[in-house]
Structure 1
Amino acid sequence: MACNCYGKNTEEPTFSDRKANPYSHLFKYIMVGDSAVGKSNLLLQFVDKRFSPNSDFTIGVEFGSRSINIDNNQVKLQIWDTAGQEKFRSITRAYYRGAVGALIVYDITRRETFEGLANWLTDCRKYSSTDVTIVLVGNKCDLEASRQVSYAEASSFANEHGLLFFETSAKTGSNVDEAFEQTAKIIFERTKNNPQDNAE
């Protein structure tokens, strides 16, 4: 499950990429949320098992991918990490197209990032496909002493809006794989009954 790429690469996979790294399904994910909630480090942890404590703000979008195995099928997750600043919002919206999974990330130690979730959720549902699987991710759960948003409150928000919910730590890796992989399993089950959902 090695990293295929990570960084400021915004190129779609080529045919040669697929020959070198065969897969039966390709799922596009988009990650959104306010600035500095840890989106880039969640991607880095999932793709490359690393954490960068001094990572810069994302400008526009960054891209990473990783293949996982679901029911003996190689599934490639193509993940687009978007900038959280308002000035990049119009750029971010262009990347919802074709996404079958969306992770809305907030920081459990900064309440304002939780209070902005409704706006991100509105964008997800407005600009993504109608059957996109949306996941609420409360990041930085390793900073329990600084928590400003309770697990129960976030879980209630997720239930109210029909979202999956995970608390994660990009620093320790806690629940990072689970957030991406359980989302992929739900999407995979859906594609069994609706094969055109399987991106090529």
Structure 2
Amino acid sequence: MSKNYDVLLKLLLLGDSGVGKTSLLCRYVDEEVRSTHVATIGIDFKLKTIELGGKRIRIQIWDTAGQERFETLTSQYYRRAQGILLLYDISSDKSFKNVRKWISNISEYAESNVKMVLVGNKCDIDAGRQVTAKQGQQLASEYGVKFLECSAVKNLNVTEAFRKLAEEVVVVPNENAKNRTLDRKENEAPSIYLSSQSQEEGTSENKCSC
């Protein structure tokens, strides 16, 4: 059976347990909201196909467990990721402070050219906010990554978060992308360039979990 996409991307969701990784993923892929919280055990993934630059992009999104006892397991998936969506809960100062720990893990286990977007999740519960958007933006600027706040419940910036990360990994062949590519540092590893030839990864597309 011929594949129905041009490029396969592998993205990883990281962050403390309870920050809303699975809820964000279900909203993006299944367009539904999880009414109850069930902690992810180990690792799971979902697939979604989008279009960028006239090409069909198959996104394989790995959803990881945030509990410390699973860190050894989930760290094995860091090197497979081309992009990482790093989440914290805007109503949890602890999850925000732990972002630095997660970035340390990324530096240790992931490829040096992995792309990352920082997400302040659950921005719909503004009354219980402990982390301001300004704090999130400052932290993202410190590490040189993109930032935005999201809400799976209200479907705010969910699609934008995943698309922004995909665009960081894939260089779309238009004038804006060309200018962005020219501005990259000389020592930065290249992203994936869309071309007339399709790219394929030797990874099974069947949904699985550990």
Is 1:191 the counterpart of 2:192 in the alignment?
yes
Report how many aligned residue pairs link the two structures. Answer: 179
Q: Specify the code of the residue in structure 2 equivalent to 1:191.
A: I
User: What is the CA deviation profile of residues 89-119 of structure 1, one whole-angstrom value per residue up to 9, with x for unaligned ones?
Assistant: 1011011122110011100001100011111
In 2, the alpha carbon distance for the partners of 1:35 and 1:186 equals 25
Please give the root-mean-square deviation of Cα atoms over the aligned residues, in Å: 1.5
Q: Specify the code of the residue in structure 2 equivalent to 1:102.
A: I
Q: SS where residue 95 of structure 1 aligns?
A: helix
In 1, the alpha carbon distance for the partners of 2:83 and 2:200 equals 12
Is 1:53 the counterpart of 2:35 in the alignment?
yes
TM-score normalised by L of structure 1: 0.86
Contact 2:42 2:65 in 1 (8 A): yes
**Match in the other structure for 1:7:** none
In 1, the alpha carbon distance for the partners of 2:161 and 2:200 equals 20
Detail structure 1 runs of 4+ shifted over 3 Å in the superposition. none
In 1, the alpha carbon distance for the partners of 2:115 and 2:92 equals 25
1:50-129 equivalent positions in 2, closer than 5 A: 50-129=32-111
Larger Rg: 2
In structure 1, runs of 5+ residues without a counterpart are: 1-15
**Match in the other structure for 1:141:** 123
Deviation at 1:26, TM superposition (A): 0.6
In structure 2, runs of 5+ residues without a counterpart are: 172-190, 202-210
TM-score normalised by L of structure 2: 0.82
Deviation at 1:178, TM superposition (A): 0.3
Contact 1:27 1:199 in 2 (8 A): no
In 1, the alpha carbon distance for the partners of 2:61 and 2:200 equals 13
Give the percent of matched residue pairs that are identical in Structure 1 and Structure 2. 38
**Match in the other structure for 1:30:** 12
**Match in the other structure for 2:138:** 156
Deviation at 1:193, TM superposition (A): 8.3
